[in-house]
Amino acid sequence: MLVPDLALSMANEHDDSGRWGLSVATHATQPIEAIVDLYFKRNPDAPRRKMRVTSVGAVKGSGFDVIRSGRIPHGLILAAHEPTEDEWNTLVAVFGPPQQVAPAPKVGGGN
């Protein structure tokens, strides 16, 4: 998932190898609602914005890589070099439109 208005401003050189990284929230086995819940649980001061959603396969198909980085659900979309405008446009195109993602429904007992 990607916050659309911050995407390009957040991209920066990731490490000494020259790779560029864009922070995203990702999880290999959880639905988007659970990823959103975990993201905001770990980042309680993050603004509640709309998110753009895609799959790792779609990102990789556009020529970028996705890795887990830091605490779940943090990940990085990686590029081998500073992406060109055409490469950014290709990446942005694999994401759906901005959407408000609802939290996962509460399951189990309670009062």
Q: What is the mean pLDDT of the chain?
A: 77
C-alpha–C-alpha distance, residues 52 and 95, integer Å: 6
Q: How far is CA 25 from CA 30, 57, 70, 110, in A?
A: 11, 15, 11, 29
State the average pLDDT over residues 85-92.
Answer: 88
Who has greater pLDDT, 49 or 70? Answer: 70
Confidence (pLDDT) at 62: 92
pLDDT one-digit tens code per residue, 9-45: 445 555 667 778 888 888 888 888 888 888 888 877 8
Confidence (pLDDT) at 60: 93
State the pTM of this model: 0.70
